[in-house]
Structure 1
Amino acid sequence: MKVNVHDPRGEELAQVLTRATAALAQVPSPRVDAELLAAHLLYDGSRSRLQHAALMGERLTPEQVAEYEALVARRVRREPLQHITGSAPFYRLELAVGPGVFVPRPETELLAEEALKVLAARTESATGQLRIVDLCTGSGAIAAAIKSELPNAQVFAVELSEDAIPYTRKNLEPLGVHLVQGDALTALPELAGTFDAVLSNPPYIPPANVPADPEAALHDPDMALYGGGEDGMQMPSAIAARAFELLTPGGLFIMEHDDTQEEAVAELLARVGFEGCYPVRDLNNRPRHSVGYKPRPLEPLD
């Protein structure tokens, strides 16, 4: 949609943004959200173009104002910004998201970055094609980030949810990721023992820890949030065991978890059989991911 600059009956964009910012006072970032919604509607998502237009005194038609205020009203009701715009930034990508799929979080980018750091060295020395799988892929965020940086790798992604799959497919098929709709605990049996890396952001929240943000509590699917059991560790435990089965000796496993689960996950990985384990901390120094390696067989003694 184009802005009508010269309509004398129009309202200045800057005034509309100020009013929207006030209406959004209860959301965490009122001005940012007001600008992102307007940029989505009027400037193909470009916030810099929007800000320039506001500085230049551009005006909106009454129809444009009404359409914009309808979007603002949805955000006031705490509908996720990403659902309204239909996209979420992740790593260096824009992913399609909407109702029924978990909106990827910035902290999960650290999982992808850690995986790429480890796998980059292996790419240089590997004699064959790297094989990587993202279990409980949701929107496909982790798989997409990995494939975008390692285009020659064979990347798989597994997702069970019927509601999430349309978004997953839209995000992953253009990149050439092999998408499997099915149970992460049983998928890809024919490839067990062949993966160089298994990555996962499984559901892990304990049932008592309902997210404080309405955007997550009311709009993220429960099956993507709650890990099962009193401590939320039921699904992470099953994912770790399945990862061990899928990995080749020396293979890499990285899993996201709650910052209260560091000790439980460390014990889990040791019990499953992983070695060389260590936590990865987020920008607030909270343990949010754990790394482990499937042991290589002992070299025979001469």
Structure 2
Amino acid sequence: MWRRCLSAGCRRFGLKGIWGSHAVRRCSAPALPAGRITALQAGDLWRSHFVENGVTEPDHSTHYIIAYLLGAKTIESLEQGKLTELLSREKTEQMWQLCTKRLSRMPVQYVIEEWDFRDLTLKMRSPVFIPRPETEELVELVLRDLEETGVGADEQRTCLEVGCGSGAISLSLLNSLPQLKAIAVDQSQAAVDLTRENASRLGLQDRLQVYHIDVMKDAETFLSLCSSVSALVSNPPYLFSEDMMTLDPEISRFEDHAALDGGKDGLRVIRQILTLAPQILSSPGRVYLEVDPRHPTLIRRWVEANVEEMHYVETQQDITGRPRFCILQKEKSNKDHKLDLD
């Protein structure tokens, strides 16, 4: 698999201090060598050029491009002889094309046009949001709950993903649970198209419905298409708007800002999801959210004050120990409890 540590920055967002300087210098590629060189020699040349021009993770970037060029997942999996063989002129030119894209600060996922998410290899294209390692953890939480609550051979359930991007969450869930069906929506047509392409490539298209819907603008359409789902999963836009100014070039120049900016407090889309959730979920369906570490307390308070049918179940930490995932569950309202008593 493509190594997890390289994801447009090892955390979800390349904020200043993670990616480095926000400024981008215009850089030119080194000249193509006159004679033939090996993959290792080409890699050394480009690694040095990346360092000189402030490109982050120069080693990883070079290694992934070489591995892709030579038909492997990682440079470690290549036969050593491959690295010291002279490249053809065609391969050398391709190496220069790919590395020049990385020199422009294009994330390596877009450069090589694919990336691994859990046990799937997904096609990647700018500006569709690149899935990060935290979201793999989110999928694990959902899978654990669905398996514990009986998604077996005789029971079919439906999962809804809001903001599907490349389809990483839905497709990973479908791949792990053969009886599951999924609905995925996104405000970006590019994301919808890429999710459909990935579903088809993986043979999962028959269990996935994908819609081009903006939940902020098309709530009525959204509700008409999505109902009685067992789980609503989302890695929504959750950056505070002020943080958008601190994004580094790999993200600010290549990824969809609408998939990042969550409004002044980062909760604009999250509030909408939680407002609509009771009308979509079966009882006792759950909502699983990936959020900013500042959000769980804010979300709990807001739900308690504004969404009677939703109960905040728990906050889960990510692998680095930060509060990252919020789990909520649909419960009957007080009005429904009174009807039951009558």
TM-score (norm 2): 0.78
Cross-structure match for 1:101: 128
Change over 3 Å in CA distance of 1:239–1:276 after alignment to 2: closer
C-alpha contact (below 8 Å) 1:202/1:239 kept by paired residues: no
Cross-structure match for 2:198: 171
Equivalence map 1:116-131=2 (5 Å): 116-124=143-151, 128-131=155-158
What is the DSSP-based 3-state SS (H/G/I as helix, E as strand, rest coil) of the residue aligned with 1:11? coil
Cross-structure match for 1:262: 296
Cross-structure match for 1:226: 261
Higher relative contact order (CA 8 A, sep 6+): 2
Cross-structure match for 2:16: none
What is the DSSP-based 3-state SS (H/G/I as helix, E as strand, rest coil) of the residue aligned with 1:24? helix
Equivalence map 1:1-302=2 (5 Å): 10-25=36-51, 26-50=54-78, 52-53=80-81, 57-124=84-151, 128-173=155-200, 174-176=203-205, 177-184=208-215, 185-190=219-224, 193-210=227-244, 211-228=246-263, 230-270=264-304, 271-273=306-308, 274-296=310-332
What is the DSSP-based 3-state SS (H/G/I as helix, E as strand, rest coil) of the residue aligned with 1:252? strand
C-alpha contact (below 8 Å) 1:199/1:255 kept by paired residues: yes
Partners in 2 of 1:199 and 1:267 — Cα distance? 20
Change over 3 Å in CA distance of 1:51–1:220 after alignment to 2: farther
Partners in 2 of 1:37 and 1:125 — Cα distance? 41
Partners in 1 of 2:328 and 2:153 — Cα distance? 19
C-alpha contact (below 8 Å) 1:14/1:54 kept by paired residues: no
Unaligned stretches of 5+ residues in structure 2: 1-34
Partners in 1 of 2:220 and 2:120 — Cα distance? 29
1:59-87 C-alpha deviation (Å, 9 max, x unpaired): 21344223212211211221111111111
Partners in 2 of 1:191 and 1:166 — Cα distance? 18
Cross-structure match for 2:28: none
Structure 1 residue 51 displacement after superposition: 5.8
Q: Which amino acid aligns with 1:267?
A: R
Change over 3 Å in CA distance of 1:111–1:29 after alignment to 2: same
Change over 3 Å in CA distance of 1:105–1:187 after alignment to 2: farther
Unaligned stretches of 5+ residues in structure 1: 1-8
Structure 1 residue 54 displacement after superposition: 5.0
What is the DSSP-based 3-state SS (H/G/I as helix, E as strand, rest coil) of the residue aligned with 1:20? helix
Structure 1 residue 52 displacement after superposition: 2.3
Partners in 1 of 2:220 and 2:290 — Cα distance? 20
Change over 3 Å in CA distance of 1:115–1:187 after alignment to 2: farther
Partners in 2 of 1:196 and 1:76 — Cα distance? 44
Structure 1 residue 127 displacement after superposition: 6.1
Partners in 2 of 1:127 and 1:301 — Cα distance? 32
What is the DSSP-based 3-state SS (H/G/I as helix, E as strand, rest coil) of the residue aligned with 1:209? helix
Partners in 2 of 1:90 and 1:79 — Cα distance? 19
C-alpha contact (below 8 Å) 1:144/1:172 kept by paired residues: yes
Partners in 2 of 1:301 and 1:223 — Cα distance? 46
Q: Which amino acid aligns with 1:130?
A: R
1:208-264 C-alpha deviation (Å, 9 max, x unpaired): 002533111111111111112x21211110011122221011101101111222221
Change over 3 Å in CA distance of 1:264–1:216 after alignment to 2: same
Structure 1 residue 10 displacement after superposition: 2.4
1:181-216 C-alpha deviation (Å, 9 max, x unpaired): 223344453465511100011111111002533111
Structure 1 residue 45 displacement after superposition: 4.1
Change over 3 Å in CA distance of 1:118–1:90 after alignment to 2: same
Structure 1 residue 171 displacement after superposition: 1.3
What is the DSSP-based 3-state SS (H/G/I as helix, E as strand, rest coil) of the residue aligned with 1:75? helix
What is the alpha-carbon root mean square deviation over aligned residues?
Answer: 2.4
What is the DSSP-based 3-state SS (H/G/I as helix, E as strand, rest coil) of the residue aligned with 1:292? strand
Partners in 2 of 1:137 and 1:12 — Cα distance? 40
